[in-house]
């Protein structure tokens, strides 16, 4: 037996915890009207997850909680727990992946609690679960949510009243197909989720596509730039090496040239200054000497002149003395001795000559003074001769002659000295003119050096210009390395390993530089600088896109497999449903005939379709409306024995009860539920039919437990356990186990 017991606590009229043990295949609940029997049935509905408040005769959750009585306070929560035997581990629960997992409990307890605020709580073996889990769990043991196995009071003919679609549901439930329906629902939900995911992924990929395209183009540019970089590096290696060789050589050559010029300039400067230093000193010295000698000569000549004049006078005096001694001279006749006159003239003449050669005016005046003295002396001598010659004597003459000789000796000495000076003057003059000549030579030499100096200075200037050029070229070289380095990194220095000897051709270098420039421009245009990041981003983005594409594929696969699953499940349901209907029909026919003593009854599957209006172009055309097949429904066809009535609604209350009981029992025979709850299903039956009903209960109870609420003695007699429900003085339902005789008494 599957069903073990039921605990009701605070539910409706059961204010206190009340337990029902289902120890017998048929348990009957008896009691007077309004004692709370149906509340037990509703407690079972409630705990099994019933969502319709109406079917529990309430409007809100609060209606299910004990409302209190004069003696008892109202409850704040209602709870019902049902216990099932699970030693065979038949109860299954679906996990997230839709797989059924057997629950490893010997006893399965399901609780449902409702609070005054309407909040519901489901508990499975102590752990809170969702209603969905309860439904799944119960479906695994053929307890469907349609509640076909719980027939409430007055609902004996519920299946007859139900719509063909609801009937189908009840039958599916009874056939244990509900579990497939849940799986289909799950698959539909998953399909919807997966389709949405797919849409999202599709949109994401669509959004990303332009960016990926952009990145792809960038990467292509970058790849091209990489190739260009290789070319650039090759060009750089050759160009920079040659340029460095050129610069080194140029610097060296210029350095050598410059040193050479500077040395030569230093030499020339030395030569020029040595020429300038030597000449003036020598020239000054000789001129000085010449001036001294000339002064000396003049002095000597003055002395000699003086001596000559003295000598002349003495000679004149001697002559005069001698003449006076020989022949006296009358004072009236003035005679001038020829020699005296000649001496006078000679003396005058010498002074005048001297004066003529004098180049300085102030030196002439003293000479002229001397000339005047000579003239005066001559005039005096001439006057003296007018005197009578009384004084002439030999002693005087000799004295004069001795003086004359002394003077002559002196004059001779002076002449020798004069000649010496004249010689010296001659020599010094020669020296000076030699010096002048030499100086002229020096000037000429100096001029030549100066011209050379000028030439060298110009060369030096040229070298400075060249140096400036080299400096600029060197700066360009360094800038080129910097710019190149920014484009190709540290590899730029690999030019040092490039092998080249000789002097590079400047035109070739220029040509190469232009090529390099062109590549650089292209590289910058390609935006090569951020290439590696773009490459990384491209790889990441394409990787993500690949991932999304894979996800799309997976989603598509899972959509397809969900569709396949749904189709399979639908097919399975269809097949099992049709098969189940056949089996039910066999049982239905049999039970129906048994109940009514003949007649026929059967279920038939109908397919309803509905029209979808074709409203294309905004106009409705009934001929083009489409028929969309709807879910299948179930029709019940009966034919009572000896009666023509075939319509269900024309049947009497008892007939309706019997028909629906026959169908319900037929359904239960084909796929027996663990238990059936029948709340006064037998109410409308007469005695004969009650017996037949009792027989069927017994037959049915072999495969399903039965809980029957009844006032019917016959039905009570078939039960193994009888519970009596009474309403106490406190207004709460009470449960007690009763014997058959007590039961009939209580039931009244």
SS3 for 192-250 is HHHHHHHHHHHHHHHHHHHHHHHHHHHHHHHHHHHHHHHHHHHHHHHHHHHHHHHHHHH
Least separation in angstroms between residue 738's CB and ligand ATP is 14
Beta bridge partners of 26: 706
Q: Using the rule CB under 6 A, give the single segment among 27-35, 267-275, 480-488, 615-623 that binds ligand ATP.
A: 27-35
Least separation in angstroms between residue 680's CB and ligand ATP is 7
Helices 164-174, 531-596: crossing angle, 10 deg rounding: 90
Least separation in angstroms between residue 128's CB and ligand ATP is 24
Least separation in angstroms between residue 158's CB and ligand ATP is 16
Note whether 94 and 186 are within 8 A (CB): yes
CB of 75 or CB of 580, closer to ligand ATP? 75
Residues numbered 152 to 211 that lie near ligand ATP (CB under 6 A) are 153
Least separation in angstroms between residue 555's CB and ligand ATP is 50
CB of 90 or CB of 683, closer to ligand ATP? 683
Least separation in angstroms between residue 154's CB and ligand ATP is 9
- The binder of ligand ATP chosen from 25, 36, 312, 580 (CB under 6 A): 36
**DSSP H or E run through 440:** helix 394-488
Least separation in angstroms between residue 189's CB and ligand ATP is 36
Least separation in angstroms between residue 5's CB and ligand ATP is 19
CB of 243 or CB of 679, closer to ligand ATP? 679
Tokens representing 629 are: 């097949």
- The binder of ligand ATP chosen from 17, 19, 33, 161 (CB under 6 A): 33
CA distance 1 to 703: 9
- The binder of ligand ATP chosen from 19, 34, 330, 441 (CB under 6 A): 34
- The binder of ligand ATP chosen from 9, 18, 28, 35 (CB under 6 A): 35
CB of 65 or CB of 225, closer to ligand ATP? 65
CB of 37 or CB of 190, closer to ligand ATP? 37
Antiparallel, parallel or unpaired: β 26-30 and 77-85: unpaired
Q: Using the rule CB under 6 A, give the single segment among 36-44, 595-603, 639-647, 656-664 that binds ligand ATP.
A: 36-44
**For residue 663, how far is the Cα from the chain centroid?**
74
CB of 12 or CB of 309, closer to ligand ATP? 12
Note whether 287 and 485 are within 8 A (CB): no
CA distance 590 to 600: 8
Tokens representing 456 are: 């060298």
CB of 13 or CB of 712, closer to ligand ATP? 13
CB of 75 or CB of 672, closer to ligand ATP? 75
- The binder of ligand ATP chosen from 31, 673, 674, 694 (CB under 6 A): 31
Q: Within 13 Å of residue 142, how many CA atoms lie on the same side as its CB?
A: 19
Query: Residue 22 — φ and ψ, nearest 5°?
Result: -105, 75
Q: Using the rule CB under 6 A, give the single segment among 33-41, 174-182, 350-358, 537-545 that binds ligand ATP.
A: 33-41
CA distance 109 to 106: 10
Residue 190 vs residues 125, 135, 312, 313: alpha-carbon distances, Å: 28, 18, 169, 171
The C-alpha R_g of the chain, in whole angstroms, comes to 79
Least separation in angstroms between residue 110's CB and ligand ATP is 21
CB of 388 or CB of 653, closer to ligand ATP? 653
- The binder of ligand ATP chosen from 9, 18, 38, 324 (CB under 6 A): 38
Size of the site for ligand ATP (CB under 6 A): 15
Position of tokens 């050479």? 260
Query: Residue 409 — φ and ψ, nearest 5°?
Result: -55, -45
CB of 492 or CB of 746, closer to ligand ATP? 746
Give the SS3 label for residue 119: coil
- The binder of ligand ATP chosen from 3, 7, 13, 638 (CB under 6 A): 13
Note whether 268 and 447 are within 8 A (CB): no
Tokens representing 129 are: 């679960």
Least separation in angstroms between residue 63's CB and ligand ATP is 6
Does the footprint of ligand ATP cover residue 286 (CB under 6 A)?
Answer: no
Burial class (CB in 10 A: 0-12, 13-18, 19+), 172: buried
Note whether 304 and 418 are within 8 A (CB): yes
Residue 669 vs residues 22, 46, 585, 662: alpha-carbon distances, Å: 21, 25, 11, 10
Tokens representing 24 are: 């017998």
Distance between start and end Cα atoms, the chain:
30
Beta bridge partners of 78: 114
Residues numbered 602 to 621 that lie near ligand ATP (CB under 6 A) are none
- The binder of ligand ATP chosen from 2, 4, 37, 446 (CB under 6 A): 37
Residues numbered 134 to 153 that lie near ligand ATP (CB under 6 A) are 153
Does the footprint of ligand ATP cover residue 39 (CB under 6 A)?
Answer: yes
Residues 6+ apart with CB under 8 A from 101: 92, 93, 94, 95
Give the SS3 label for residue 430: helix
CB of 36 or CB of 672, closer to ligand ATP? 36
Least separation in angstroms between residue 153's CB and ligand ATP is 5
Given its phi and psi angles, is residue 685 left (phi above 0), alpha (psi -120 to 50 degrees) or beta?
Answer: beta
CB of 70 or CB of 338, closer to ligand ATP? 70
CA-based nearest residue to 183, from 222, 218, 136, 143: 136
Note whether 138 and 127 are within 8 A (CB): no
- The binder of ligand ATP chosen from 2, 4, 12, 446 (CB under 6 A): 12
CB of 36 or CB of 531, closer to ligand ATP? 36
CB of 35 or CB of 94, closer to ligand ATP? 35
Least separation in angstroms between residue 36's CB and ligand ATP is 4
Least separation in angstroms between residue 120's CB and ligand ATP is 16
Least separation in angstroms between residue 591's CB and ligand ATP is 26
CB of 38 or CB of 660, closer to ligand ATP? 38
Residues numbered 210 to 229 that lie near ligand ATP (CB under 6 A) are none
User: What percent of the residues of the chain are helix, what percent strand, and what percent coil, each to the nearest 5?
Assistant: 65, 15, 20
Residues numbered 45 to 104 that lie near ligand ATP (CB under 6 A) are 63, 65-67
Least separation in angstroms between residue 639's CB and ligand ATP is 33
CB of 30 or CB of 421, closer to ligand ATP? 30
Does the footprint of ligand ATP cover residue 18 (CB under 6 A)?
Answer: no
Least separation in angstroms between residue 11's CB and ligand ATP is 8
CB atoms near residue 75 (< 10 Å): 21
Which residues contact ligand ATP (rule: CB under 6 A)?
12-13, 31, 33-39, 63, 65-67, 153
């Amino acid at each position: 037996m599957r069903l073990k017991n039921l605990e009701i606590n605070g539910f409706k009229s059961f204010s206190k915890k009340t337990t029902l043990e289902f120890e017998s295949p048929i348990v009957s609940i008896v009691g007077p009207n309004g004692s709370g029997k149906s509340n037990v049935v509703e407690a079972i509905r409630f705990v099994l997850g019933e969502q319709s408040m109406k079917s529990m005769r309430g409007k809100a959750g609060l209606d299910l909680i004990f409302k209190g009585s004069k003696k008892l306070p109202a409850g704040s929560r209602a709870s019902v727990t049902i216990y099932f035997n699970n030693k065979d581990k038949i109860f299954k629960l679906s996990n997230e992946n839709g797989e059924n997992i057997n629950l490893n409990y010997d006893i399965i307890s399901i609780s449902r609690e409702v609070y005054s605020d309407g909040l519901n709580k489901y508990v499975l073996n102590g752990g809170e679960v969702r209603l969905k889990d309860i439904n799944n769990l119960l479906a695994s043991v053929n307890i469907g949510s349609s509640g076909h196995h719980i027939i409430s009071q007055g609902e004996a003919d519920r299946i007859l009243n139900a719509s063909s679609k609801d009937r189908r549901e009840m039958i599916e439930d009874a056939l244990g197909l509900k579990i497939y329906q849940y799986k289909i629902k799950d698959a539909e939900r998953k399909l919807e989720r997966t389709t949405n995911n797919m849409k999202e992924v599709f949109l994401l990929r669509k959004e990303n596509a332009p960016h990926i395209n952009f990145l792809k183009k960038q990467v292509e540019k970058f790849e091209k730039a990489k190739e260009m970089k290789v070319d650039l590096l090759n060009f750089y290696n050759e160009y920079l090496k040659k340029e460095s060789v050129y610069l080194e050589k140029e610097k060296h050559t210029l350095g050598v040239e410059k040193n050479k010029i500077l040395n030569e300039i230093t030499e020339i400067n030395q030569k020029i200054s040595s020429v300038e230093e030597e000449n003036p000193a020598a020239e000054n010295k000789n001129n000085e000497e010449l001036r001294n000698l000339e002064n000396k000569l003049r002095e000597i000549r003055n002395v000699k002149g003086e001596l000559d004049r003295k000598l002349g006078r003495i000679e004149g005096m001697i002559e005069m003395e001698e003449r006076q001694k020989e022949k006296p001279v009358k004072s009236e006749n003035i005679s001038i001795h020829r020699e005296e006159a000649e001496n006078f003239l000679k003396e005058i003449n010498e002074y005048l000559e001297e004066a003529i050669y004098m180049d300085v005016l102030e030196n002439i005046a003293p000479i002229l003074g001397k000339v005047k003295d000579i003239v005066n002396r001559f005039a005096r001598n001439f006057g003296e001769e007018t005197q009578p010659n009384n004084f002439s004597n030999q002693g005087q003459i000799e004295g004069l002659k001795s003086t004359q000789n002394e003077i002559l000796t002196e004059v001779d000495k002076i002449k020798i000295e004069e000649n010496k000076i004249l010689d010296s003057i001659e020599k010094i003059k020669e020296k000076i003119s030699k010096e002048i000549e030499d100086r002229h030579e020096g000037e000429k030499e100096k001029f030549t050096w100066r011209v050379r100096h000028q030439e060298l200075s110009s060369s030096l200037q040229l070298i400075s210009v060249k140096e400036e050029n080299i400096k600029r070229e060197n700066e360009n070289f360094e800038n080129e390395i910097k710019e190149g380095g920014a484009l190709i990194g540290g590899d730029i220095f690999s030019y040092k390993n490039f092998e080249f000897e000789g002097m590079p051709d400047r035109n070739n270098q220029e040509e190469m530089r232009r090529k390099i420039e062109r590549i650089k421009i292209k590289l910058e245009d390609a935006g090569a600088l951020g290439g590696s990041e773009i490459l990384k981003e491209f790889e990441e983005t394409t990787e993500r896109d690949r991932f999304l594409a894979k996800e799309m594929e997976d989603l598509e696969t899972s959509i397809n497999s969900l569709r396949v699953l749904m189709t399979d499940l639908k097919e399975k349901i269809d097949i099992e449903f049709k098969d189940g209907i056949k089996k039910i029909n066999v049982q239905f026919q049999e039970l129906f005939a048994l109940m009514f003593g003949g007649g026929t009854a059967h279920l038939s599957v109908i397919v309803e379709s509905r029209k979808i209006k074709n409203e294309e172009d905004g106009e409705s055309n009934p001929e083009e409306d489409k028929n969309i097949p709807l879910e299948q429904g179930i029709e019940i066809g009966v034919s009572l024995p000896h009666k023509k009535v075939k319509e269900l609604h024309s049947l009497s209350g008892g007939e309706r009860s019997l028909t629906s009981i026959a169908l319900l029992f037929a359904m239960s025979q084909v796929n027996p539920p663990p238990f059936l709850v029948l709340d006064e299903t037998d109410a409308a039956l007469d005695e004969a039919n009650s017996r037949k009903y009792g027989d069927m209960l017994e037959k049915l109870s072999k495969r399903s437990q039965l809980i029957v609420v009844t006032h019917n003695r016959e039905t009570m007699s078939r039960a193994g356990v009888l519970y009596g429900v009474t309403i106490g003085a406190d207004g709460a339902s009470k449960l007690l186990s009763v014997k058959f005789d007590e039961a009939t008494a209580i039931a009244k």
